[in-house]
Structure 1
Amino acid sequence: MKEFDYRRAPDVMGAVTLLDNDPDARYLAGGTNLVDLMKSGVERPARLVDVRELPLDRIEPSPDGGLHVGATVSNSDLAAHPEVRSRYPMLAQAVLAGASGQLRNMATVGGNLLQRTRCAYFTDTTKPCNKRDPGSGCPALSGEHHNHAILGASESCVAVHPSDMAVALTALDAVVHYETAHGQGEVRLDQLYLPVADTPHRETALPAGALITGISLPPVSVAAHSRYRKVRERASYAFAIGSVAAALDVRDGVVRDARLAFGAVASRPWRARTAERALIGAPATAETFAASAEAELAAARPLPHNGYKVTLMHNLTVAVLSELTEAVAR
């Protein structure tokens, strides 16, 4: 591991100042992803700025009736919070599906959003990777790609985003708040991650040196009737091969509102807006759910060994929406 300078930030502005104009510095919170990447040589920061002790560890009501979640709230605390569990159950379920208990105790909300892909070519520094070394190529295109993207990929990168939490937050229209040396800013979660295009090394819309300070959850009534379902290759802790975050408002047998996002199918959490449009105003039936999934997945461009994800996501979407409809009826 490369030697590095370590600083503990005294406050938010102190943290931002320590990172300002230093491309070789990184923020350190739980370290559950960054430290692993440092050990493998993917990340080689010259300085770590420890932000874990900053006063950003609270979950509080926001003025609009939603919730504000501080960036250093642990994943465990987020999943256990009574307001999150009752008002945004898909978020609590996504967090609990995301890692082992030990990791959830260490990992933070802000760090979870910035974790990097688990693509084997990205984490192996002996292999080319456009995300790690721009212009070097993407060997996953002709190599091992059974868990790679079917939506929104490009010839430059077909890796998927690993976060479960971010999928639920995308469906909930969450807003990310950040601080820079030039002031505060915010970006909607569904706009945080950049399209992969031919610049996969540029992953987020955050300004250079920005520190995530928190996330706002809007007061979305449909979110109380929500669910997160994750499919993985083994029952124990593992990353998704496909996941669905869904919220549904059904009245008199008709879908009045719907929120839907997919995970493990693209370089970013995939907001299924085409499916949402097909759902709203339609009868809450399995046929409607199937048609909405087909409409969203019409844009899928699977590779030779991951076409199974199209069928998987279709069936998973229908199953989750059907379960939500039955729960509302009871």
Structure 2
Amino acid sequence: MAQPGSRWVPVAWQELPGLDSDALHEAWNAWVRSCERPPPAFVALCPQVRRLSIGTPQEQRAFLFERLQPYRIEATNGSPDGLLTGYYEPELVAMRQPGNGYTVPLYRAPAGLASRKPWYSRQQIDTLPEAQAALQGRAIAWLADPIDALVLHIQGSGRLRITEPDGSTRMVRVAFSATNDHPYRSVGRWLLDQNLVRDATWPGIKAWIAQNPQRVPEMLWSNPRYVFFKEEPLEGLDAEFGPRGAQGVALTPGRSIAVDRQSIPYGTPVWMASSGPTGQIQRLVLAQDTGSAIIGAVRADYFTGWGQDAGDIAGRLKQGLRLWALWPR
């Protein structure tokens, strides 16, 4: 099985670690979601996938063995080892109008975004009158902390407890819409390169910020990439799932991964095995998203959910990874 960015090697099911201990029904919810926009190779399987969403673990396992072939995913040089990181949906407090300390905007894409590539950088958006004029009236909401906004830009979406002008509050989602087409640069890497910190985790970055508030704009501007959002309702079943990933389907906490689409097509069921400081993960997941930093054959970003607990897990997750694609026979 040839992919542009990886090599797939057929293997026996016995090679997959932890195969007998995974709660497959949890993954089935994510698989049913993928069947809303299935890759061509899976279209014929989706009716049975949907029926088996209420099947027994034995029936689900038998379906995997009968209909799918596992392939070990390797880099083109033959290495099966890669990297797992995590991402999540932040939950933040926001205001519909600026004031009372809420001065950091989250913008919709400007009308002329496509006419200028790349668009203005993060520093230019903050400082140039012409960039600010192009964004006039485009703010969805306002945050109090520029670091919260940066986290939201990095994660790509979030949940806002937003206060409306009449004082009422409600939960909404701000989902990824577009970028200014500048490359992503890690602020943690900038701090390390400047010899300003030794610990570039979020707690380390926030500790540096507390001691150097006057240098926060300089740190933020080291990442020229800027993300624009769109507002979505967050009610009923939508609140039980994550945002829509690059496949166009809602993400499932603990069962959706972002991948390099040159290595793994969207909608592919993947067996994931990872062990490290955060613990051991051996489970069935679905390739449903991508990200600007997710590059490489054996590379995945694990969607951990939303809120502080999910953020803590995602922030600590950086460990070894092996992947097996499960493809129709």
TM-score by length of 1: 0.23
Name the one with the larger strand percent: 2
Structure number with greater CO (CA < 8 Å, separation at least 6) is 2
